[in-house]
Copies of this chain bind each other. A is one copy, B any other.
């Protein structure tokens, strides 16, 4: 049975303006690889309702899971929860359980849970909450869409809570090997290796350092036997090139 598939949607002007380097996609990618969910696509869109709605609907119809990052805070530009509700065509409002969680942040919730903060308790109808161990304000899952915060520490905490609760596939194993030959020399034999091992994804990432040209070859597969066979093939390839072992 093939692994479940997934897409990441990063929401926020700060990513597209270059103010913020997105590290959440990379964190999610590594987490999903470890539990056998294949991340197939990533997108970033601005804080614009129609853009969020269109991207969520395109991605949720195509992949088993969609993970979003950003736009669930208390400010005017935090429009993700409302956009998700619009994408699913459901209502949204302050929910008692989410409000109760937020209230634990404050000595005097009646006074301190102002309208801006209460925005963080707005949850689309039918969603379940995602725990936020860092700053309480929850994320949520609706259908196959998991809505999480953009602040990296909070995103990481939410993914950490969510990941063990997802149906896992076969973890993707990987083997990587540095070959100290120019990529243009490695490429021909590597294409033959790739053709001989169709169940293994083979990538080649060139670099140059003080020792000269080299490349990192990465083998990836959810099939452990296929990966082992390709690894043996790679060892033979390296020996054939006369490269240092």
Chain A positions within 8 Å of B, measured between CB atoms, are 10, 12-23, 25-33, 39-47, 51, 73-77, 112, 114-117, 119, 151, 172, 174, 183-188, 190-191, 194-195, 201-207, 218, 220
Contact = CB atoms under 8 A, between A and B. Distances in A.
A42 B17 CA distance: 11
Contact of A42 (B16, B73, B187): B16
B190 A75 contact: yes
A207 B202 CA distance: 40
Nearest to A151: B206
Q: For chain A, what secondary structure do more than half of its interface residues adopt (helix, strand, loop), or is it mixed?
A: mixed
A33 B18 contact: yes
Contacts of A151: 205-207
A17 to B, nearest CB: 6
Nearest to A38: B16
Contacts of A19: 174, 203, 205, 218
Contact of A29 (B18, B51, B183, B195): B18
Nearest to A19: B218
A105 to B, nearest CB: 9
Contacts of A23: 21
A16 B39 contact: yes
